[in-house]
Amino acid sequence: MELSLSELKHHRVGICLSGGLSSLAVASWLHDNGCAVEGFVLDIGQSERKDFDAFTSAVRTAGIALHEVDARPAMARAALDVAAFRAHYDGGYWNSTGLSRSVIVEAVAPRLREAGFSVLAHGCVGGGNDQRRFERYAEHFAPGLTVLAPWRSPEIREAMADRAAMARQIASAGLVCMPGNTAEHSVDSNLAGVSHEDARLEELSTSALRVERLMGVAPDRAPDRIERVLVGVERGRPVTLDGHRLPPEQLLEAANTVAGRNGLGLTDVVEHRVNGTKCRGVYEAPGMELFAHAVRAAYESVTDRAAADTAGFLSRQLAVAVYEGRVHGIVARAARAGLEEILAAATVTVGLDLYKGSVVGRALLEVDGSAGVVHQRRFAGGGHHWGSAPFTVSAEARE
Protein backbone atom coordinates (compact mmCIF):
# COMPACT_ATOMS: atom_id res chain seq x y z
CA MET A 1 0.00 0.00 0.00
CA GLU A 2 1.27 3.49 -0.82
CA LEU A 3 1.26 5.85 2.15
CA SER A 4 2.58 9.40 2.00
CA LEU A 5 4.95 10.71 4.62
CA SER A 6 2.19 12.80 6.18
CA GLU A 7 -0.05 9.72 6.40
CA LEU A 8 2.72 7.59 7.89
CA LYS A 9 3.11 10.07 10.73
CA HIS A 10 -0.31 8.98 12.00
CA HIS A 11 0.78 5.34 12.30
CA ARG A 12 3.17 3.26 14.34
CA VAL A 13 5.51 1.59 11.86
CA GLY A 14 7.38 -1.61 12.56
CA ILE A 15 10.14 -2.33 10.05
CA CYS A 16 11.95 -5.63 9.57
CA LEU A 17 15.69 -4.98 9.77
CA SER A 18 17.92 -7.67 8.36
CA GLY A 19 21.22 -5.83 8.53
CA GLY A 20 21.15 -5.03 4.82
CA LEU A 21 21.52 -1.60 3.29
CA SER A 22 18.01 -0.89 2.01
CA SER A 23 15.95 -1.73 5.12
CA LEU A 24 18.40 0.15 7.34
CA ALA A 25 18.27 3.20 5.06
CA VAL A 26 14.46 3.21 5.06
CA ALA A 27 14.32 2.93 8.86
CA SER A 28 16.80 5.79 9.23
CA TRP A 29 14.94 7.98 6.73
CA LEU A 30 11.56 7.41 8.39
CA HIS A 31 13.08 8.20 11.79
CA ASP A 32 14.74 11.38 10.50
CA ASN A 33 11.42 12.51 9.01
CA GLY A 34 9.45 12.24 12.22
CA CYS A 35 7.74 8.87 11.83
CA ALA A 36 7.12 6.62 14.83
CA VAL A 37 9.24 3.77 13.49
CA GLU A 38 10.67 0.87 15.46
CA GLY A 39 12.90 -1.86 14.17
CA PHE A 40 12.34 -5.60 14.50
CA VAL A 41 15.60 -7.49 14.14
CA LEU A 42 15.31 -11.23 13.83
CA ASP A 43 18.29 -13.41 14.51
CA ILE A 44 17.99 -16.00 11.75
CA GLY A 45 21.68 -16.84 11.71
CA GLN A 46 22.62 -14.07 9.30
CA SER A 47 25.88 -13.26 11.06
CA GLU A 48 28.15 -14.09 13.96
CA ARG A 49 26.80 -12.99 17.31
CA LYS A 50 29.40 -10.25 17.75
CA ASP A 51 28.39 -8.70 14.41
CA PHE A 52 24.71 -9.01 15.27
CA ASP A 53 25.23 -7.27 18.63
CA ALA A 54 27.32 -4.51 17.03
CA PHE A 55 24.58 -3.89 14.50
CA THR A 56 21.76 -3.68 17.05
CA SER A 57 23.85 -1.43 19.30
CA ALA A 58 24.47 1.01 16.44
CA VAL A 59 20.75 1.15 15.58
CA ARG A 60 19.84 1.97 19.18
CA THR A 61 22.56 4.60 19.34
CA ALA A 62 20.98 6.25 16.30
CA GLY A 63 17.78 6.64 18.32
CA ILE A 64 15.69 3.92 16.67
CA ALA A 65 13.86 1.70 19.13
CA LEU A 66 14.59 -1.95 18.52
CA HIS A 67 13.00 -5.31 19.25
CA GLU A 68 15.11 -8.46 18.99
CA VAL A 69 13.59 -11.85 18.18
CA ASP A 70 15.45 -15.16 18.23
CA ALA A 71 14.13 -16.95 15.14
CA ARG A 72 17.09 -19.28 14.62
CA PRO A 73 15.19 -22.44 15.66
CA ALA A 74 12.28 -21.56 13.36
CA MET A 75 14.65 -20.76 10.48
CA ALA A 76 16.48 -24.04 10.93
CA ARG A 77 13.29 -26.11 11.09
CA ALA A 78 12.03 -24.52 7.89
CA ALA A 79 15.36 -25.12 6.14
CA LEU A 80 15.56 -28.76 7.20
CA ASP A 81 12.03 -29.30 5.89
CA VAL A 82 13.11 -27.95 2.51
CA ALA A 83 16.17 -30.22 2.56
CA ALA A 84 14.07 -33.24 3.51
CA PHE A 85 11.63 -32.59 0.70
CA ARG A 86 14.45 -31.76 -1.76
CA ALA A 87 12.53 -28.58 -2.61
CA HIS A 88 15.27 -26.70 -4.44
CA TYR A 89 14.36 -24.17 -7.09
CA ASP A 90 15.85 -23.46 -10.52
CA GLY A 91 19.40 -24.72 -10.88
CA GLY A 92 19.58 -26.21 -7.40
CA TYR A 93 18.91 -23.01 -5.44
CA TRP A 94 17.86 -23.94 -1.90
CA ASN A 95 15.31 -21.13 -1.47
CA SER A 96 17.15 -19.64 1.50
CA THR A 97 15.94 -16.07 0.92
CA GLY A 98 12.33 -16.82 0.07
CA LEU A 99 12.03 -19.25 2.96
CA SER A 100 13.29 -16.68 5.46
CA ARG A 101 10.52 -14.23 4.52
CA SER A 102 7.92 -16.63 5.82
CA VAL A 103 9.88 -17.14 9.05
CA ILE A 104 10.34 -13.39 9.52
CA VAL A 105 6.73 -12.35 8.98
CA GLU A 106 5.35 -15.23 11.06
CA ALA A 107 7.58 -14.18 13.97
CA VAL A 108 7.05 -10.42 13.66
CA ALA A 109 3.33 -10.13 12.82
CA PRO A 110 1.85 -11.16 16.20
CA ARG A 111 4.30 -8.89 18.04
CA LEU A 112 3.31 -5.94 15.88
CA ARG A 113 -0.37 -6.43 16.48
CA GLU A 114 0.03 -7.00 20.22
CA ALA A 115 2.06 -3.78 20.55
CA GLY A 116 -0.42 -1.70 18.56
CA PHE A 117 1.50 -1.20 15.33
CA SER A 118 -0.59 -0.64 12.22
CA VAL A 119 2.10 -0.74 9.51
CA LEU A 120 4.61 -3.46 8.64
CA ALA A 121 7.48 -2.10 6.55
CA HIS A 122 10.40 -3.76 4.78
CA GLY A 123 13.28 -2.62 2.61
CA CYS A 124 12.71 -4.80 -0.42
CA VAL A 125 13.18 -3.13 -3.78
CA GLY A 126 10.15 -2.31 -5.87
CA GLY A 127 8.87 -4.98 -8.22
CA GLY A 128 11.13 -7.68 -6.82
CA ASN A 129 10.41 -11.14 -5.49
CA ASP A 130 10.58 -10.14 -1.84
CA GLN A 131 8.07 -7.34 -2.12
CA ARG A 132 5.42 -9.85 -3.17
CA ARG A 133 6.53 -12.39 -0.58
CA PHE A 134 6.14 -9.91 2.25
CA GLU A 135 2.70 -8.91 1.00
CA ARG A 136 1.52 -12.51 0.75
CA TYR A 137 2.83 -13.53 4.15
CA ALA A 138 1.48 -10.41 5.83
CA GLU A 139 -1.93 -11.18 4.36
CA HIS A 140 -1.68 -14.71 5.77
CA PHE A 141 -0.27 -13.94 9.23
CA ALA A 142 -1.56 -10.41 9.86
CA PRO A 143 -4.47 -9.48 7.58
CA GLY A 144 -5.16 -6.32 9.59
CA LEU A 145 -1.72 -4.77 9.04
CA THR A 146 -0.86 -2.38 6.24
CA VAL A 147 2.30 -3.39 4.37
CA LEU A 148 4.55 -0.49 3.40
CA ALA A 149 6.64 -1.23 0.31
CA PRO A 150 8.99 1.77 0.57
CA TRP A 151 10.13 1.88 -3.02
CA ARG A 152 6.56 2.49 -4.17
CA SER A 153 6.68 5.81 -2.30
CA PRO A 154 7.68 8.72 -4.57
CA GLU A 155 9.14 10.54 -1.54
CA ILE A 156 11.43 7.66 -0.59
CA ARG A 157 12.45 7.02 -4.19
CA GLU A 158 13.35 10.70 -4.61
CA ALA A 159 15.35 10.75 -1.38
CA MET A 160 17.20 7.49 -2.08
CA ALA A 161 17.32 6.83 -5.79
CA ASP A 162 20.17 4.32 -5.68
CA ARG A 163 22.40 2.33 -3.34
CA ALA A 164 24.90 5.17 -3.10
CA ALA A 165 22.17 7.43 -1.74
CA MET A 166 21.12 4.75 0.73
CA ALA A 167 24.72 4.41 1.87
CA ARG A 168 24.90 8.16 2.48
CA GLN A 169 21.68 8.03 4.48
CA ILE A 170 22.90 5.42 6.93
CA ALA A 171 26.36 6.96 7.16
CA SER A 172 24.81 10.27 8.22
CA ALA A 173 23.13 8.44 11.10
CA GLY A 174 26.30 6.61 12.13
CA LEU A 175 24.90 3.25 11.03
CA VAL A 176 26.66 0.36 9.33
CA CYS A 177 25.41 -2.76 7.61
CA MET A 178 26.19 -6.27 8.71
CA PRO A 179 29.29 -7.82 7.10
CA GLY A 180 29.10 -8.51 3.36
CA ASN A 181 26.84 -5.58 2.51
CA THR A 182 28.28 -2.54 0.76
CA ALA A 183 27.01 0.21 -1.50
CA GLU A 184 27.90 -2.04 -4.45
CA HIS A 185 27.23 -5.54 -3.14
CA SER A 186 24.24 -6.95 -1.28
CA VAL A 187 23.96 -10.17 0.66
CA ASP A 188 20.93 -11.80 2.23
CA SER A 189 21.91 -14.49 4.68
CA ASN A 190 20.53 -16.87 7.25
CA LEU A 191 21.25 -20.36 8.58
CA ALA A 192 20.15 -21.93 5.30
CA GLY A 193 22.41 -19.91 3.02
CA VAL A 194 23.58 -16.62 1.53
CA SER A 195 22.47 -14.87 -1.63
CA HIS A 196 24.85 -12.48 -3.39
CA GLU A 197 23.68 -9.63 -5.62
CA ASP A 198 25.38 -6.77 -7.41
CA ALA A 199 25.34 -5.13 -10.81
CA ARG A 200 28.30 -7.11 -12.13
CA LEU A 201 26.82 -10.46 -11.09
CA GLU A 202 23.72 -9.63 -13.09
CA GLU A 203 25.95 -9.86 -16.16
CA LEU A 204 26.01 -13.49 -17.26
CA SER A 205 29.57 -13.05 -18.49
CA THR A 206 30.78 -12.48 -14.90
CA SER A 207 32.11 -15.58 -13.15
CA ALA A 208 30.51 -16.50 -9.83
CA LEU A 209 34.01 -17.21 -8.55
CA ARG A 210 34.46 -13.48 -7.97
CA VAL A 211 32.09 -13.81 -4.98
CA GLU A 212 33.84 -13.68 -1.63
CA ARG A 213 32.33 -16.63 0.19
CA LEU A 214 30.91 -16.04 3.67
CA MET A 215 29.99 -19.60 4.64
CA GLY A 216 33.09 -21.49 3.61
CA VAL A 217 36.01 -21.58 1.23
CA ALA A 218 36.41 -21.97 -2.51
CA PRO A 219 37.07 -25.57 -3.59
CA ASP A 220 40.70 -24.85 -4.46
CA ARG A 221 41.28 -23.64 -0.89
CA ALA A 222 39.67 -26.66 0.74
CA PRO A 223 41.88 -29.28 2.45
CA ASP A 224 43.77 -31.65 0.19
CA ARG A 225 42.24 -34.72 1.80
CA ILE A 226 38.90 -36.52 1.89
CA GLU A 227 36.72 -35.99 4.95
CA ARG A 228 34.07 -38.60 5.83
CA VAL A 229 30.85 -37.27 7.36
CA LEU A 230 27.99 -39.39 8.71
CA VAL A 231 24.43 -38.07 8.36
CA GLY A 232 21.52 -39.76 10.07
CA VAL A 233 18.19 -39.41 8.29
CA GLU A 234 14.87 -40.31 9.92
CA ARG A 235 11.68 -40.36 7.87
CA GLY A 236 13.48 -38.28 5.27
CA ARG A 237 14.77 -35.63 7.68
CA PRO A 238 18.41 -35.08 8.65
CA VAL A 239 18.62 -35.45 12.44
CA THR A 240 22.21 -36.40 13.31
CA LEU A 241 25.70 -35.44 12.20
CA ASP A 242 28.59 -37.78 12.97
CA GLY A 243 26.39 -39.54 15.49
CA HIS A 244 25.37 -36.39 17.37
CA ARG A 245 21.66 -35.63 17.65
CA LEU A 246 21.37 -31.86 17.84
CA PRO A 247 18.64 -29.21 17.92
CA PRO A 248 17.81 -28.02 14.37
CA GLU A 249 19.76 -24.77 14.55
CA GLN A 250 22.88 -26.49 15.93
CA LEU A 251 22.58 -29.29 13.40
CA LEU A 252 22.44 -26.86 10.49
CA GLU A 253 25.29 -24.78 11.88
CA ALA A 254 27.45 -27.88 12.23
CA ALA A 255 26.62 -28.96 8.67
CA ASN A 256 27.48 -25.48 7.39
CA THR A 257 30.84 -25.68 9.13
CA VAL A 258 31.94 -29.08 7.85
CA ALA A 259 30.57 -28.57 4.33
CA GLY A 260 31.86 -24.99 4.17
CA ARG A 261 35.42 -25.91 5.02
CA ASN A 262 35.32 -28.48 2.23
CA GLY A 263 34.12 -25.99 -0.36
CA LEU A 264 30.58 -27.30 -0.91
CA GLY A 265 27.51 -25.32 -1.79
CA LEU A 266 28.17 -22.46 -4.23
CA THR A 267 25.39 -22.36 -6.83
CA ASP A 268 25.20 -20.11 -9.90
CA VAL A 269 21.77 -20.08 -11.53
CA VAL A 270 19.55 -18.14 -13.89
CA GLU A 271 16.14 -18.31 -12.29
CA HIS A 272 12.53 -17.48 -13.12
CA ARG A 273 11.39 -14.64 -10.88
CA VAL A 274 7.92 -14.15 -9.42
CA ASN A 275 7.12 -11.31 -11.83
CA GLY A 276 7.96 -13.39 -14.91
CA THR A 277 11.42 -12.01 -15.60
CA LYS A 278 14.71 -13.86 -15.23
CA CYS A 279 17.64 -13.03 -12.98
CA ARG A 280 21.07 -14.37 -12.21
CA GLY A 281 21.56 -15.60 -8.65
CA VAL A 282 24.73 -16.68 -6.86
CA TYR A 283 24.08 -18.57 -3.65
CA GLU A 284 25.92 -20.31 -0.85
CA ALA A 285 24.25 -23.16 1.04
CA PRO A 286 26.92 -25.63 2.19
CA GLY A 287 24.93 -27.39 4.90
CA MET A 288 21.83 -27.72 2.74
CA GLU A 289 23.93 -29.19 -0.06
CA LEU A 290 25.48 -31.69 2.34
CA PHE A 291 22.09 -32.80 3.62
CA ALA A 292 20.74 -32.98 0.08
CA HIS A 293 23.21 -35.74 -0.78
CA ALA A 294 22.21 -37.69 2.32
CA VAL A 295 18.50 -37.25 1.68
CA ARG A 296 18.93 -38.31 -1.94
CA ALA A 297 20.51 -41.56 -0.74
CA ALA A 298 17.59 -42.05 1.64
CA TYR A 299 15.07 -41.54 -1.15
CA GLU A 300 16.85 -43.97 -3.43
CA SER A 301 17.00 -46.67 -0.79
CA VAL A 302 13.27 -46.80 -0.06
CA THR A 303 11.30 -45.66 -3.13
CA ASP A 304 10.23 -47.53 -6.21
CA ARG A 305 10.01 -45.76 -9.56
CA ALA A 306 6.42 -44.57 -9.14
CA ALA A 307 7.08 -43.18 -5.66
CA ALA A 308 10.31 -41.53 -6.81
CA ASP A 309 8.56 -39.89 -9.76
CA THR A 310 5.74 -38.66 -7.52
CA ALA A 311 8.19 -37.31 -4.95
CA GLY A 312 10.06 -35.45 -7.67
CA PHE A 313 6.89 -33.78 -8.90
CA LEU A 314 5.76 -32.83 -5.38
CA SER A 315 9.21 -31.49 -4.50
CA ARG A 316 9.11 -29.22 -7.53
CA GLN A 317 5.66 -27.91 -6.61
CA LEU A 318 6.79 -27.17 -3.07
CA ALA A 319 9.95 -25.44 -4.30
CA VAL A 320 7.94 -23.12 -6.53
CA ALA A 321 5.55 -22.35 -3.65
CA VAL A 322 8.46 -21.44 -1.36
CA TYR A 323 10.06 -19.24 -4.01
CA GLU A 324 6.83 -17.41 -4.78
CA GLY A 325 5.89 -16.79 -1.15
CA ARG A 326 3.14 -19.39 -0.92
CA VAL A 327 4.56 -21.65 1.79
CA HIS A 328 1.17 -21.89 3.50
CA GLY A 329 -0.93 -22.24 0.38
CA ILE A 330 -2.96 -25.29 -0.59
CA VAL A 331 -0.41 -26.58 -3.12
CA ALA A 332 2.40 -26.43 -0.57
CA ARG A 333 0.27 -28.17 2.06
CA ALA A 334 -0.74 -30.92 -0.34
CA ALA A 335 2.86 -31.41 -1.50
CA ARG A 336 4.07 -31.75 2.08
CA ALA A 337 1.40 -34.28 2.92
CA GLY A 338 2.31 -36.44 -0.06
CA LEU A 339 6.03 -36.23 0.60
CA GLU A 340 5.53 -37.11 4.27
CA GLU A 341 3.75 -40.29 3.16
CA ILE A 342 6.46 -41.27 0.69
CA LEU A 343 9.30 -40.54 3.13
CA ALA A 344 7.85 -42.48 6.03
CA ALA A 345 10.29 -45.32 5.22
CA ALA A 346 13.36 -43.17 4.64
CA THR A 347 15.43 -43.86 7.77
CA VAL A 348 19.10 -44.40 6.95
CA THR A 349 22.63 -43.50 7.96
CA VAL A 350 24.74 -42.21 5.09
CA GLY A 351 28.49 -41.78 4.91
CA LEU A 352 29.55 -38.93 2.61
CA ASP A 353 33.12 -38.37 1.43
CA LEU A 354 33.83 -34.66 0.88
CA TYR A 355 36.68 -33.37 -1.23
CA LYS A 356 37.28 -29.89 -2.64
CA GLY A 357 33.70 -28.85 -3.33
CA SER A 358 32.26 -32.25 -4.18
CA VAL A 359 30.84 -35.37 -2.62
CA VAL A 360 33.19 -37.89 -4.20
CA GLY A 361 31.78 -40.98 -2.53
CA ARG A 362 28.92 -42.17 -0.38
CA ALA A 363 28.01 -45.29 1.56
CA LEU A 364 24.71 -46.44 2.97
CA LEU A 365 25.76 -47.66 6.39
CA GLU A 366 22.32 -48.52 7.69
CA VAL A 367 18.79 -48.80 6.38
CA ASP A 368 15.85 -49.31 8.73
CA GLY A 369 13.97 -52.16 7.08
CA SER A 370 11.21 -52.07 9.68
CA ALA A 371 9.76 -48.96 8.08
CA GLY A 372 8.59 -50.84 5.01
CA VAL A 373 11.01 -50.66 2.11
CA VAL A 374 9.00 -50.81 -1.09
CA HIS A 375 11.22 -52.73 -3.49
CA GLN A 376 13.43 -55.77 -3.71
CA ARG A 377 17.17 -55.30 -3.42
CA ARG A 378 20.14 -56.47 -5.35
CA PHE A 379 22.72 -54.99 -3.01
CA ALA A 380 25.86 -57.13 -2.76
CA GLY A 381 23.92 -60.13 -4.05
CA GLY A 382 26.16 -60.63 -7.06
CA GLY A 383 25.26 -62.07 -10.46
CA HIS A 384 21.53 -62.20 -11.10
CA HIS A 385 20.51 -63.06 -7.57
CA TRP A 386 17.64 -60.94 -6.33
CA GLY A 387 16.17 -61.04 -2.87
CA SER A 388 14.21 -59.17 -0.24
CA ALA A 389 16.44 -59.88 2.74
CA PRO A 390 17.08 -56.96 5.09
CA PHE A 391 19.94 -54.69 4.15
CA THR A 392 23.05 -55.38 6.24
CA VAL A 393 26.45 -53.78 6.45
CA SER A 394 29.72 -55.52 7.20
CA ALA A 395 31.98 -54.30 9.97
CA GLU A 396 34.59 -53.40 7.37
CA ALA A 397 32.16 -51.15 5.47
CA ARG A 398 31.30 -49.24 8.64
CA GLU A 399 34.93 -48.37 9.34
Please give the domain boundaries of the chain with CATH numbers for all domains.
5-190 (3.40.50.620), 194-398 (3.90.1260.10)
Count of C-beta atoms within a 10 Å radius of residue 91: 12
* CA–CA gap between residue 229 and residue 341 (Å, rounded): 28
Sheet of strand 358-367, all strands in order from the earlier edge strand to the far edge: 244-245, 237-241, 227-234, 348-355, 358-367
Please give the model's pTM, rounded to 2 decimal places.
Answer: 0.90
Contact 94, 88 (CB under 8 A): yes
Contact 186, 20 (CB under 8 A): yes
User: Hey, what amino acid is at 130?
Assistant: D
Q: Is the pLDDT of residue 374 over 70?
A: no
Cα angle 45, 47, 48; round to 5: 105
Concatenating the DSSP letter of every residue in 71-128 gives -HHHHHHHHHHHHHTT--BGGGB--HHHHHHHHHHHHHHHHHHHTT--EEE--PPTTS
pLDDT tens, 320-357?
A: 999 999 999 999 999 999 999 999 989 999 999 999 99
Q: Which residues contact 334 (CB under 8 A, 6 or more apart)?
A: 317
Selected residue with higher pLDDT from 183 and 82:
82
pLDDT tens, 15-67?
A: 999 888 899 999 999 999 999 999 999 999 999 999 999 999 999 999 999 99
Q: How many Cα atoms occupy the beta-carbon half-sphere of 66 within 13 Å?
A: 23
Q: Is the pLDDT of residue 176 over 70?
A: yes
Q: Is the pLDDT of residue 389 over 60?
A: no
Q: Is the pLDDT of residue 6 over 80?
A: yes
User: pLDDT value at position 386?
Assistant: 46
Which spans in the chain are helix H? 5-8, 21-32, 49-61, 72-84, 96-114, 129-141, 154-159, 163-172, 199-202, 248-261, 286-302, 305-324, 330-342, 395-398
